[in-house]
Homo-oligomer: A and B are copies of this chain.
Amino acid sequence: MNISELTANHAQWLNGAEDRHGIVVSCRARLARNLSALPFAPKATVEDQEQVIEQVLTAAQRGHLMNSASFFRMDALRENERRLLVERHLVSPALAESKGQRGLLFSRDESLSIMINEEDHLRLQAILPGLQAENAWAAVNALDDELGASVAYAHSDKWGFLTACPTNVGTGLRLSILIHLPALVLTEDMERVTRGLTEMAFTVRGFYGEGTHPVGNLFQVSNQSTLGVEEDRIVEKLTAITQQIIACEKDAQDALLKEARAQVEDKVWRAYGLLSHARVLSSQEFMNLLSAVRLGYSLDLLKQLDSAFMNRLMIVTQPSHLQMENGGEIAAEERDIYRAERVRSHFATLASEESGQS
Contact = CB atoms under 8 A, between A and B. Distances in A.
A174 to B, nearest CB: 41
Interface string A341-352: 100100010001
Contact of A277 (B262, B272, B279, B348): B272
Contacts of A340: 266
A348 B270 CA distance: 15
A354 B263 CA distance: 27
A348 B273 CA distance: 13
Given A348-B354, A354-B348, A273 B278 contact: yes
A280 interface: yes
A280 to B, nearest CB: 4
Contacts of A280: 262-263, 266
How many chain A residues sit at the interface, stated as a range, is: 20 to 34
A283 interface: no
A342 to B, nearest CB: 12
A50 interface: no
Q: Give the number of copies in the complex.
A: 2
Contacts of A358: 341
A338 B281 CA distance: 29
A274 interface: yes
Contacts of A337: 262
Interface in A276-301: 276-280
A237 to B, nearest CB: 41
A195 to B, nearest CB: 34
Contacts of A81: none
Nearest to A353: B277
A265 B263 CA distance: 27
29 contacts: A262-B279, A262-B280, A262-B333, A262-B337, A263-B280, A265-B279, A266-B278, A266-B279, A266-B280, A266-B340, A269-B277, A269-B278, A269-B279, A270-B274, A270-B277, A270-B278, A270-B279, A272-B277, A273-B273, A273-B274, A273-B276, A273-B277, A273-B278, A274-B274, A277-B353, A341-B358, A344-B354, A348-B354, A352-B352
Shortest beta-carbon contacts, A-B, top 3: A273-B277, A273-B273, A266-B279
Interface of A: 262-263, 265-266, 269-270, 272-274, 276-280, 333, 337, 340-341, 344, 348, 352-354, 358
Given A266-B340, A270-B277, A273-B276, 17 more contacts: A262-B279, A262-B280, A262-B333, A262-B337, A265-B279, A269-B277, A269-B279, A270-B278, A270-B279, A273-B273, A273-B274, A273-B277, A273-B278, A274-B274, A277-B353, A344-B354, A352-B352
